[in-house]
Amino acid sequence: MDIALVRVDNRLVHGQILEAWVPYVKAGCIIVVDDHVASDFFRETVIKMAVPREIEVIITSVEDFSRYYMDNTHRDRRTIVLFSDVADVVTCFKDGFKFDHLNIGNVHNEDCVRECSPSVLLGKKDVESIKYLLTAGIKVELQRIPRDKPMDIAEILLSVIPQTVFQ
């Protein structure tokens, strides 16, 4: 599978994805990895209806994603993998989903411990998940749309969290 973008956005498929990211990365497939959507026929149907017909849409649970990914490595379509939660990214990474870059577009945690931008409000679990990915060598950036300058989340978190937290 040709992974063009791995992104956390709690809105999943929406205008920024369809109008900015899909054309920018020339994606022919979107994989939504979300337990709630995968178990909700209505939400799954709405997402599939919103995406242009020429773009394949796959909706899967977190548990099934790694198996799906590994079973479909022969796919040649450029793919956007969307998660609604950073912890789900870590779960899939631990289960074998390998990537080197994570884009965070929108995270709203009501128990916010760190506001990184107006659209990224991280809770304690989000910060712990990001720390895990950073120590695993994953580059994590905040970027709403392709024309925005990406911001390195390690620099943002280090501005308020001591370096020892990342060791």
pLDDT in tens, 49-64: 999 999 999 999 999 9
CA atoms within 13 A on the CB side of 105: 24
From residue 84, alpha-carbon distances to 39, 73, 130, 158 in Å are: 14, 23, 14, 24
The total domain count for the chain is 1
- The pLDDT assigned to 127 comes to 83
The 8 Å CB, 24+ separation contacts for 97-101 are: 97/65, 97/66, 97/69, 99/3, 99/6, 99/138, 100/137, 100/138, 100/139, 101/6, 101/138, 101/139, 101/140, 101/141
pTM metric for this prediction: 0.87
CA atoms within 13 A on the CB side of 164: 0
Percent of the chain with pLDDT over 90: 57
Q: Which domain holds residue 141?
A: 2-166
- What is the domain-level CATH number for residue 31? 3.40.35.10
d(CA 19, CA 21): 6
How many other C-beta atoms are found inside a 10 Å radius of the C-beta of residue 58? 18
Find where tokens 């911001």 sit: 151
d(CA 22, CA 106): 17
How many other C-beta atoms are found inside a 10 Å radius of the C-beta of residue 16? 18
Contact 57, 46 (CB under 8 A): no
Nearest to 85 by CA among 144, 24, 37: 37
d(CA 129, CA 86): 6
Mean pLDDT calculated for residue range 133-152: 92
- The pLDDT assigned to 167 comes to 46
What are 73-132's pLDDT values in tens digits? 546 789 999 999 999 999 999 998 989 999 998 787 667 556 666 676 777 888 888 899
- The pLDDT assigned to 165 comes to 46
What are 21-80's pLDDT values in tens digits? 999 999 999 999 999 999 999 999 999 999 999 999 999 999 999 777 666 554 678 999
- The pLDDT assigned to 53 comes to 93
